[in-house]
Structure 1
Amino acid sequence: MPLIYINCPAETFDPKIRDELASEITAASLAVEGLPDTAFVRSTCWIYFHEYSVTHVYHGGASMGSNVVSLEVNVFEGGLDDGQKKLLIEKLTTLIRRFASNPNQVPVPVYILIRNVPVTDWGVFGSRITLSELRHPPQDASPV
């Protein structure tokens, strides 16, 4: 059940393909985390796109106008081992680069931060949720 924030310059992703990118990120994230790809579990994976002006990226204290994409991926603490984290970083980087508008054909710099959130700190609609509940949801669980 990753909670993902994607920060990118405006117009990095064409609005027409952003839905496809979100769907592929969801599928890749669930697969790496070992979660079933059901309507219920998919509905617990949230992705937020935050767009900003390319002039709002600073390197060394100066605006460099860089086309950098950063992702903050929040996962259950202990839900991913080191190998899964490496695989998730590789898959997300590949997806971002495949979908990003890149007129100069230079690989888009992608920074990924994985945050391990303690199990006790996950809440959904007023209740705690566990990784085990997501790995073994009821067959008839409706999407949230």
Structure 2
Amino acid sequence: MPLIHVYSPAGTFSDAARDALGEELTVIVRELERLPMAPYNRSTTWIYFHEVPPGHVYHGGRPGGTEVIAVEVNFFEGGLDEDGKRALYQRYTERVGEHAGLPQGARVPVYIVLREVAPIDWGVFGRTTRIEELRVPRPGEPPI
């Protein structure tokens, strides 16, 4: 049940690139968290893309500079071990770079922050849940 925010300068991703990136980020995090791909379970991964207008990103206290892309991934405690986190950094950086149209081998200006959330700190449909519950597919349950 990852909740992901992608912040990028306006125009970084075309509509098609954003759609493809959203699908790929979903698959990567679900694979690394060992979460099922059943329709209901997939629908619990939410991604918000935020385009930031020119002049609204500050570097060193001033507007402008490098066009950094920020990705925040919120996930349940125990969802990713250290190897999973390292794999996520690498795979997300590659996917963001490709869909932002950067040349292969170029340094990708992406900062990734992972937030591991304790079950008590994440309310879902009026209650809490745990990663172990999410790893069990819900057969026949319609997507959210």
Same fold (TM over 0.5): yes
Pairing 1:42-121 to 2, within 5 Å after superposition: 42-102=42-102, 106-121=106-121
The answer to whether residue 20 in structure 2 is matched with residue 13 in structure 1 is no
Cα deviation code 1:43-98 (max 9, x no counterpart) = 00000011112322222112233211001100111221111100011111111001
Alpha-carbon distance, 1:42 to partner: 0.8
Secondary structure at the aligned position of 2:55 is classed as helix
Partner Cα distance (1:106, 1:89) in 2: 16
CA contact (8 A) 2:17 2:100 kept: no
Identical amino acids, percent of aligned pairs: 45
The worse-fitting range, judged by mean Cα deviation, of 69-78 and 130-139 is 130-139
Q: Which runs of 5+ in 2 are unaligned?
A: none
Alpha-carbon distance, 1:121 to partner: 1.7
Alpha-carbon distance, 1:102 to partner: 4.2
Q: TM-score, normalised by structure 2?
A: 0.91
CA contact (8 A) 2:59 2:65 kept: no
Distance change >3 Å, CA 10–CA 53, structure 1 → 2 = same
Alpha-carbon distance, 1:125 to partner: 2.2
> Across the two proteins, how many residue pairs are aligned to each other?
143
Partner Cα distance (1:38, 1:90) in 2: 25
Moved over 4 A (4+): none
The amino acid of 1:5's aligned partner reads H
Alpha-carbon distance, 1:106 to partner: 4.8
Question: Which residue matches 2:125?
Answer: 125
CA contact (8 A) 2:72 2:115 kept: yes
The worse-fitting range, judged by mean Cα deviation, of 52-61 and 2-11 is 52-61
Q: TM-score, normalised by structure 1?
A: 0.91
